[in-house]
């Protein structure tokens, strides 16, 4: 079996957002603009990513729990497809340096 890449999710991984003092937000027409002070980069994110960073990942959580809480926040049922999208979002946010894997 091939070795997982750096950003491949592994069973048992937990995730958390980085300190809130490193993030500055603005909202424009249901889109969120995030300035990440440590990297000096600006990111355009949707409401799900905003919720994930500001509310859901305030404590370390495993990906299935993250998906469940995000689904609840949207008033939607959690499905396998949704869980896969959340996992992909976590990996992308990790690549951007906005969340960390523990």
* pLDDT tens profile 56-87: 998 999 999 999 999 998 888 888 888 888 98
Give the span between the Cα atoms of 5 and 50, in whole angstroms: 26
Strands (E), the chain: 14-17, 23-28, 31-36, 41-45, 61-62, 99-101
Rounded to 5 degrees, what are φ and ψ at 81? -65, -40
Give the span between the Cα atoms of 64 and 90, in whole angstroms: 11
The structural domains of the chain, with segments of one domain joined by +, span 20-101
Structure confidence at residue 94 (pLDDT)? 92
Global pTM value: 0.83
Looking at the domain 20-101, which fold is it? Outer Surface Protein A; domain 3 (3.90.930)
């Amino acid at each position: 079996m091939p070795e997982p890449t750096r950003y491949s999710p592994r069973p048992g991984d937990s995730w958390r957002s980085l300190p809130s003092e490193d993030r500055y937000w603005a909202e424009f027409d249901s889109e969120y603009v995030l300035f990440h002070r440590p990297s000096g980069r600006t990111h355009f994110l949707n409401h799900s990513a905003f919720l994930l960073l500001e509310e859901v990942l305030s404590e370390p959580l495993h990906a299935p729990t993250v998906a469940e809480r995000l689904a609840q926040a949207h008033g939607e049922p959690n499905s396998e497809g949704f869980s896969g999208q959340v996992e992909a979002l976590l990996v992308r946010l990790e690549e951007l340096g906005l969340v960390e894997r523990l």
